[in-house]
Chain A
Amino acid sequence: MKISKSYPYPVLYVNNDDYVSSTFYTEFDVQDSFGEVKIQVQFSLDNTEISRLIEEDIAVYLVHIECGQTSFRHAYKSNQKVFEITIPTENLRGKINIHTYIIANKRIENYTNDNLNDWFKDIPITYEKGNILAIGDAIETTMYEDNLEMLNLPSIVKISKSLKNEFMEVDIQSDIITISLPKYEYNQYATNAKSRLKNTILSNVITPSLVYVFSKIHENTEDLQEYTWYQVLEKIFDENNYRLEDVGSDSLSALKAAQLVLRKPLKTSFEEIEKI
Chain B
Amino acid sequence: MKLKFISEETLMDLRTNYSTYKDYYYTKDNFWFDNYFSEPGRVIESKIEFDMPELNYHEDYSVSDRENVKKIYDAFKHLNLSQATQERLWSGLAHTQFRDFSYYRLKNELENKNDTRINTGMFFKNSKKRSLFVHVLARLWWVGYMTYDETNEKNPYWLTEFFCEKDFSARSVVFFASNFTSNRNITKGILKTLLKWQELGIPIKRDHFVQANKYLNVVGGAMILDMLTVEEVEEMVDSYLKKYYGMRMEAIGQI
On A, residues with C-beta under 8 Å from B are 1, 4, 7-9, 62, 64, 66, 68-75, 77, 88-94, 101, 103, 128-132, 145, 158, 160-165, 169, 171, 173-176, 178, 180, 220, 222-223, 226-227
What residues on A are CB-neighbors of B124 within 8 Å?
173-174
What are 14 sample pairs from A and B whose C-beta atoms fall under 8 A apart?
Answer: A1-B179, A71-B81, A71-B182, A75-B224, A77-B227, A94-B128, A158-B8, A158-B12, A169-B16, A171-B15, A175-B87, A178-B16, A222-B127, A226-B127
Closest to A74 in B: B226
Q: Determine the distance from Cα of A73 to Cα of B225 in the docked complex, in whole angstroms.
A: 11
Interface string of B105-128 (1 = CB under 8 A from A): 000000000000000000011111
- Could you tell me if B80 and A90 are in contact, using CB atoms closer than 8 angstroms? yes
Is A163 a contact of B17 with CB atoms below 8 Å?
yes
- Complex contacts, B221 vs chain A, CB 8 Å: 4
Q: Which B200-230 residues have a C-beta within 8 angstroms of A?
A: 221-228
Q: B1-40 toward A: CB 8 Å interface, digit per residue (1/0)?
A: 0000000110011011101100000000000000000000
- Seed contacts A66-B182, A71-B142, A130-B224; 13 additional CB < 8 Å A-B pairs: A4-B221, A68-B128, A68-B129, A73-B179, A92-B81, A94-B128, A103-B227, A129-B228, A130-B227, A160-B12, A161-B13, A163-B20, A164-B17
Question: Using an 8 Å CB-CB cutoff, how does the interface string of B125-138 with A read, 1 for contact, 0 for none?
Answer: 11111001000000
Q: Of A8, A69, A160, A175, which one neighbours B129 at CB under 8 angstroms?
A: A69
Residues on B facing A (Cβ under 8 Å)? 8-9, 12-13, 15-17, 19-20, 80-85, 87, 124-129, 132, 142, 146, 176, 179-180, 182-183, 221-228, 232
Once the chains bind, are B82 and A145 in contact (CB under 8 Å)? Answer: yes
The CA-CA distance from A74 to B186 in the complex, in Å, is 11
Q: Are A132 and B16 in contact (CB under 8 A)?
A: no
- Whether B80 contacts A91 by the Cβ 8 Å rule is yes
Residue in chain B with minimal CB distance to A164: B20
Give bound CA distance, A94 to B86, whole Å. Answer: 12
Interfacial chain A residues near B226, Cβ < 8 Å: 64, 73-75
Kindly provide the distance from the CB of B95 to the nearest chain A CB, expressed in whole angstroms: 16
Measured CB to CB, the closest approach of chain A to B128, in angstroms, equals 4
A70 to B126, alpha carbons, bound, how many Å?
15
The distance from the CB of A206 to the nearest CB of chain B, in whole angstroms, is 16
Contact pick for B224, options A89, A132, A223, CB 8 Å: A132
- Pair B183/A176 contact, Cβ less than 8 Å: no
A132 touches B222 (CB 8 A): yes
Shortest C-beta distance, B84 to chain A (Å), equals 8
Residues of chain B contacted by A4 (CB below 8 angstroms):
221-222
Collect the chain A residues with CB atoms within 8 Å of residue B182's CB: 66, 68, 71-73
Docked complex Cα distance between A130 and B126 (Å):
33
Q: How far is B133's CA from A72's CA once the two chains are assembled, in angstroms? A: 15
Contact call A93/B16, Cβ cutoff below 8 A: no
Name, among B9, B13, B126, B127, the residue most crowded by chain A CB atoms within 10 Å (CB to CB).
B127
Contact across chains for A180 and B222 when beta carbons are under 8 A apart? no
- Cα of A93 to Cα of B87 in the assembled complex, Å: 13
- Knowing A158-B12, A164-B20, the reply to whether A71 touches B129 (Cβ < 8 A) is yes
**10 A-B pairs closest in CB distance:** A223-B127, A75-B226, A130-B223, A90-B80, A71-B182, A70-B81, A73-B182, A226-B128, A163-B20, A180-B16
Whether A101 contacts B12 in the complex (CB less than 8 A), given A90-B83, A164-B17, comes out as: no
